[in-house]
Amino acid sequence: MLAQICQFLAVDSSYFPQNEHIIIGDRSNEGCFLVHYFLNLCEKQNRPVCVIGLSQSFHHYNTVAHKLGTNLLSACDENKNLHFIEGLKLLGGCFDVVSTDSDISKPFLEFVNGISTPLLQYIQSSVDKLTQIECPVDNVHGPVVIVDDLSVLLTAGASAKDIILLLNGLRRIVSSQKVKGSLITFSSLEKEDEEIEEVWAYMSHISTLKIEVSALSSGFCKDVHGQMKIEWQDSCTKPRKSNSKHTQFKLSDKSVDLFASGMSAAVL
């Protein structure tokens, strides 16, 4: 799985780049495999990672990681190079009157109410701890922040403006001289949802690598689960020529197969 996706995305499997803002938009309900790919890639490189899990619990990520040969529990408890923020649980605590996690949930509650600073400070504290880790790999850059899934914040009551302000804050954190890291954001997309489309349009403007996953235009196929379009884009810190590629993919329990559009016998 790692080798094939790395080749398609032009990502060095042994050297994750710094100062990248990678965005993943999913219109198919199948694109979450890319979140696990990037998380697994960073762990195999001993890259410090802060995951803000808004759509799934830590148990879910760890179960998938086990299938891919990575132990996230060890990364959290022993190596200390993974910080997982239980965003789904903490968001739920905002609306639970009997929750015992009200103080921990407060940054999320204030964000839903339009105040982003406490949540950014909460994330900043995790990233700061990761920057203090002495990594055994000499060429490893700063921490990677992974957000999964931004659309959950809209469902919880945040506005598109709130999320755009949060994104700007996260970009400032990871691109600072102290951190020198990268940001990966995942979002489920719906054309009928104007707010998430507004957020996606903004994300597309500021990203360095844009990945959009969608269902096959020809309809359902049991042997081809979707298609993927990627675009490399210019940025202030990483000038490059804009370029794009397309592929189709098939998911299995522990891997994903990529093939050029129209090359699978299932859709010929």
Q: How confident is the model at residue 53 (pLDDT cuts 50, 70, 90)?
A: very high
> What pLDDT was estimated at residue 29?
82
pLDDT of residue 249: 82
Strand order across the beta sheet in which 226-232 lies: 82-85, 49-53, 144-148, 182-188, 21-26, 209-214, 226-232, 243-251, 256-259
160-218 pLDDT, tens per residue? Answer: 999 999 999 999 999 888 888 999 999 999 888 899 999 999 999 989 999 999 888 76
Is pLDDT at 134 greater than 70 in this prediction?
no
Q: Is the pLDDT of residue 255 over 70?
A: yes
DSSP 44-76: HTT--EEEEESSS-HHHHHHHHHHTT--HHHHH
Query: Counting beta carbons within 10 angstroms of the beta carbon of residue 85, is it exposed (0 to 12), middle (13 to 18) or buried (19 or more)?
Result: buried
Count of domains in the chain?
Answer: 1
> Would you say 46 and 126 are in contact if contact means Cβ atoms under 8 Å apart?
no
CA 221, CA 265: separation in Å to the nearest integer? 11
pLDDT bucket at 268, cuts 50 / 70 / 90: very low
Pairing of strands 209-214, 226-232: antiparallel
CA distance 87 to 92: 8
Full residue range of the structural domain in which residue 230 is found = 2-267
Length of the chain: 268
Confidence (pTM) = 0.89
pLDDT at 99 over 80: no
Residue 246 is predicted with a pLDDT of 87
CA angle (138, 141, 144) in 5-degree steps: 140
Q: Going along the chain, which residue ranges are E strands?
A: 21-26, 49-53, 82-85, 144-148, 182-188, 209-214, 226-232, 243-251, 256-259
What's the confidence (pLDDT) of residue 119? 92
Nearest partner of 79 among 41, 123, 37, 45, judged by Cα: 45
Does position 235 have pLDDT exceeding 70, yes or no? no
Q: What is the CATH number of the domain that holds 186?
A: 3.40.50.300
CA distance 44 to 41: 5
Residue 16 DSSP symbol: P
Terminal-residue alpha carbon distance, the chain? 24
More confident residue, 244 or 127: 127
DSSP 265: G
CA angle 258, 17, 55 (to 5 degrees): 65
